[in-house]
C-alpha cells in the first residue's frame, strides 16, 4: 500500500513538471505593448452634494411698460389718446443665497433660496399730452410713470450636470417675489391731474441658468442669469383739481403697470 502511494505521488510530480516545461516561462510584455495600455482615467476628488451658503452681487434691468387709458372711453375723455410709456428700471443688486445639492454620477439636483437688495429704478415722461385727434394739449402738459424695485427674492429648483470635475452647468426656475414702488400721472397743466402712487409686494415666477466652479472642497464661484416676471398692477386715478378731488363721476385715467426684469450676477459659495 505504501508503495502504491509513493508511486502515485511520483506520477503526479512528473505530470506537473511536464506541463510546466511544455508551457514555458511566462514572457514579459514588450515596450510597445506597454505603451498601448491606456492609463486609468483620474477620478474626481470633489462632490457637489451638501448644504451651502453664499453672497452675490450684480446688475439688473427690466421692463415696466405703463399704459394710460382714458375712461370711460377715449372719445368721451377726448383730451387723452391711449398711450404707453417705458420707464424701464435698471441698477445694481446684491444679497445672499443658501441651498442644498445632491450629486449622482454626473447629474446634480438641488434647491436654492436667495434674497436681494435692489437699486433698480426707472422713469418715463411724454410731453405734451396728445389728444384723440393727434393734436397736442397745452405745452406744459405731460404723462409720467415711475417704478422702483426695493428688494426681491426667489425660491428655485436647480438641475445641472458636471461635464468636468468641479464644473457644474445648471438650469433653474421657481418662485419670485419682490416689493415694488409704482407711480404715474397725467398732468394737463391746467390744474387737472390724475395721479396714482402705491407700493406692493408681489409674487411671480423666474427661470434662468448658470455655471459654478469649485475652487476647493469648500469654496466655489458662480455666474448666473435670471429672468423674473412679477405680473401686472392696475390702478385708476381719479380727477384732481389743484390737488383736490373734484368728485367727477365721469373722467378717470386707468393705468396698467408691468414688472419684469433680467438679472446677471456673480457669487461666492461655501459648502459645508
pLDDT in tens, the chain (272 residues): 333 334 333 333 333 333 333 334 444 445 444 445 445 456 889 999 999 999 999 999 999 999 999 999 999 999 999 999 999 999 999 999 999 999 999 999 999 999 999 999 999 999 999 999 999 999 999 999 999 999 999 999 999 999 999 999 999 999 999 999 999 999 999 999 999 999 999 999 999 999 999 999 999 999 999 999 999 999 999 999 999 999 989 999 999 999 999 999 999 999 99
Burial state string for 111-141 with b = 16 or more CB within 10 A and e = fewer than 16: ebebebebebbbebebbbbbbbeeeebeeeb
What local confidence, expressed as pLDDT, does residue 41 receive? 52
Number of domains in the chain: 1
What local confidence, expressed as pLDDT, does residue 78 receive? 97
Contacts of 138 (CB under 8 A, 6+ apart): 128, 129, 188, 189, 190
In a domain, 200, yes or no: yes
Among candidates 124, 140, 122, which has minimal Cα distance to 68? 124
Q: CA 43 to CA 22: how far, in whole Å?
A: 43
In a domain, 26, yes or no: no
Among candidates 86, 91, 90, which has minimal Cα distance to 125? 86
In a domain, 22, yes or no: no
E strand or H helix that includes residue 57: strand 50-63
Neighbours of 92 (CB within 10 A): 13
In a domain, 108, yes or no: yes
Read off the CATH number of the domain in which 70 is found: 2.40.160
What local confidence, expressed as pLDDT, does residue 39 receive? 52
What local confidence, expressed as pLDDT, does residue 28 receive? 43
What local confidence, expressed as pLDDT, does residue 43 receive? 81
In a domain, 15, yes or no: no
In a domain, 224, yes or no: yes
Strand bridging mode 167-187 / 219-238? unpaired
Among candidates 33, 193, 172, 179, which has minimal Cα distance to 97? 172
What is the DSSP-derived secondary structure letter of residue 250?
S
- In angstroms, the Cα distances linking 149 to 89, 124, 138, 199 are 8, 15, 33, 10
Any idea what the Cα angle at residue 121 is, between residues 264 and 142, rounded to 5°? Answer: 140
DSSP letter string over 104-123?
ETTEEEEEEEEEEEE--EEE
DSSP letter string over 212-234?
EEESSSSEEEEEEEEEEEEEEEE
- The parent domain of residue 111 ranges over 48-271
In a domain, 12, yes or no: no
Among candidates 90, 151, 153, 93, which has minimal Cα distance to 121? 90
In a domain, 25, yes or no: no
Amino acid at each position: 500500500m505504501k508503495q502504491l502511494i509513493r508511486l502515485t505521488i511520483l506520477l503526479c510530480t512528473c505530470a506537473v513538471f511536464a506541463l510546466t516545461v511544455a508551457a514555458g516561462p511566462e514572457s514579459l510584455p514588450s515596450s510597445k505593448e506597454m505603451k498601448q495600455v491606456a492609463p486609468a482615467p483620474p477620478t474626481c476628488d470633489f462632490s457637489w452634494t451638501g448644504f451651502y451658503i453664499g453672497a452675490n452681487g450684480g446688475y439688473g434691468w427690466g421692463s415696466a411698460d405703463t399704459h394710460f387709458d382714458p375712461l370711460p372711453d377715449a372719445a368721451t375723455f377726448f383730451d387723452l389718446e391711449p398711450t404707453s410709456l417705458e420707464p424701464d428700471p435698471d441698477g445694481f443688486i446684491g444679497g445672499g443665497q443658501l441651498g442644498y445639492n445632491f450629486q449622482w454620477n454626473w447629474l446634480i439636483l438641488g434647491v436654492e433660496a436667495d434674497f436681494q437688495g435692489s437699486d433698480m429704478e426707472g422713469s418715463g415722461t411724454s410731453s405734451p399730452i396728445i389728444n384723440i385727434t393727434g393734436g397736442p394739449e397745452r405745452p406744459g402738459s405731460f404723462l409720467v410713470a415711475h417704478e422702483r424695485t426695493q428688494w426681491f427674492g426667489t425660491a428655485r429648483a436647480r438641475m445641472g450636470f458636471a461635464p468636468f470635475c468641479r464644473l457644474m452647468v445648471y438650469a433653474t426656475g421657481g418662485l419670485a417675489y419682490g416689493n415694488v414702488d409704482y407711480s404715474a400721472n397725467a398732468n394737463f397743466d391746467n390744474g387737472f391731474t390724475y395721479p396714482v402712487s402705491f407700493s406692493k409686494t408681489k409674487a411671480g415666477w423666474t427661470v434662468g441658468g448658470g455655471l459654478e466652479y469649485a475652487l476647493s472642497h469648500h469654496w466655489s464661484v458662480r455666474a448666473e442669469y435670471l429672468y423674473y416676471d412679477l405680473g401686472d398692477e392696475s390702478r385708476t386715478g381719479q380727477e384732481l383739481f389743484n390737488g383736490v378731488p373734484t368728485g367727477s363721476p365721469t373722467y378717470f385715467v386707468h393705468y396698467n403697470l408691468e414688472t419684469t426684469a433680467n438679472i446677471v450676477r456673480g457669487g461666492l459659495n461655501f459648502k459645508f
